[in-house]
């Protein structure tokens, strides 16, 4: 009898059976960037500490995975999101994206984590660095009109004159950029891949620098490339928020509580070398953070 019981226990704990009851999570990355590697690695580490079975795959190799109806996917970036949708349109997924996407399908097992910082926080960053920066130029394509509109509303509340320069044809980018830089004290870059991408960022930064005008970016990598400062979501903050959402998903009978989630924390990055070369006396990052927090506490 004891031998029979031992056999039954072993049968119940075979690898295939364990896979059916475990929390299986596949993390899909869009690129091999440091940001995505750090985000994916932290998600995996923290989920495994909680007992989940995890693996990290690239968007290009997702087709090699055998579909499993009891797997939750965490897709980081647009490429991963799009490839996952082609791989399995009905997959349970937390989609991590830098901006809200219209017309996206939501169910109780599909949700988005928006990692972009609130639009007003970029305006508060500018106010925290130099209240004298009263005119801001923003380049916007049709893909980012919603961001430009939100920034405009926020700039009015902070007594800042924000000018939006529409880019309808990328061949006019440098000409419009010259106008925006000359007529404003600072250029605020927004997350618009049609304008800011690997082919354009260097020329945009050089043009602004030639006119002795600072650029405010939206990521740490943008600052390292030559922007004066940025407020952004760190890989650690994005990963920790994702882990919290995934944990609650499993606790809530494999269902998300919301369609969209947002990150809670923010980080500040500054480029002291560029600031000095532009004769900008930029505050330290902790001071900037405290200033932003004070503004956000005001009614």
Q: What is the pLDDT of residues 35-87, one digit of tens each?
A: 999 999 999 999 999 999 999 999 999 988 876 768 999 999 999 999 999 99
SS3 of the chain: CHHHHHHHHHHHCCHHHHHHHCCEEEEEECCCCHHHHHHHHHHHHHHHHCCCEEEEEEHHHHHHCCCCCCEEEEEECHHHHHHHHHHCCCCEEEEEECCCCCCCCCECCEEEEECCCCHHHHHHHHHHHCCCCCEEEEEECHHHHHHHHHHHHHHHHCCCEEEEEECCCHHHHHHHHHHHHHHCCEEECCCCCCCCCCCCHHHHHHHHHHCCCCEEECCHHHHHHCCCEEEECCHHHHHHHHHHHHHHHHHCCCCCCCCEEECCCCEEEECHHHHHHCCCCCCCHHHHHHHHHHHHHCC
Domains identified in the chain and CATH numbers: 2-115+235-262 (3.40.50.2300), 119-232+266-297 (3.40.50.2300)
> What percent of the chain stands above pLDDT 90?
82
Whether the per-residue pLDDT at 7 is higher than 80: the answer is no
Please tell me the pTM assigned to this model.
0.87
Which of 98-107, 178-187, 194-203, 218-227 is least confident? 98-107
Q: What's the pLDDT score for residue 5?
A: 33
């Amino acid at each position: 009898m004891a031998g029979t019981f031992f056999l039954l226990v072993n049968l119940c704990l075979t690898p295939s059976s364990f896979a059916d009851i475990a929390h299986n999570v596949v993390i899909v990355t869009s690129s091999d960037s440091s940001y995505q590697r750090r985000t994916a690695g932290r998600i995996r580490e923290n989920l495994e500490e909680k007992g989940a079975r995890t693996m990290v795959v690239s968007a290009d190799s997702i087709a090699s995975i055998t579909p499993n109806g009891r797997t939750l996917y965490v897709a980081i970036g647009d490429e991963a999101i799009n490839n996952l949708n082609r791989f399995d349109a009905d997959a349970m997924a937390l989609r991590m994206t830098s901006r809200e996407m219209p017309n996206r399908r939501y169910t109780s097992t599909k949700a988005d984590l928006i990692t972009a910082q609130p639009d007003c926080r970029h305006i508060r960053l500018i106010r925290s660095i130099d209240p004298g920066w009263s005119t801001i130029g923003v380049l916007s394509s049709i893909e980012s009109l919603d961001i430009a509109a939100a920034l405009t509303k926020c700039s009015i509340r902070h007594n800042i004159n924000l000018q939006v320069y529409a880019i309808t044809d990328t061949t006019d980018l440098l000409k419009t950029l010259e106008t925006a830089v000359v007529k404003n004290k600072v250029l605020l870059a927004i997350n618009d891949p049609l304008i800011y991408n690997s082919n354009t960022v260097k020329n945009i930064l050089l043009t602004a620098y030639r006119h002795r005008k600072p650029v405010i970016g939206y990521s740490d990598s943008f600052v390292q490339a030559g922007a004066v400062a940025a407020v952004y979501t760190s890989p650690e903050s994005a990963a920790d928020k994702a882990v919290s959402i995934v944990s609650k998903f499993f606790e809530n009978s494999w269902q998300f509580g919301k369609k969209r989630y947002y990150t809670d924390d923010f980080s500040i990055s500054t480029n002291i070398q560029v600031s000095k070369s532009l004769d900008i006396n930029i505050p330290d990052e902790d001071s900037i953070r405290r200033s932003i927090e004070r503004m956000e506490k005001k009614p």
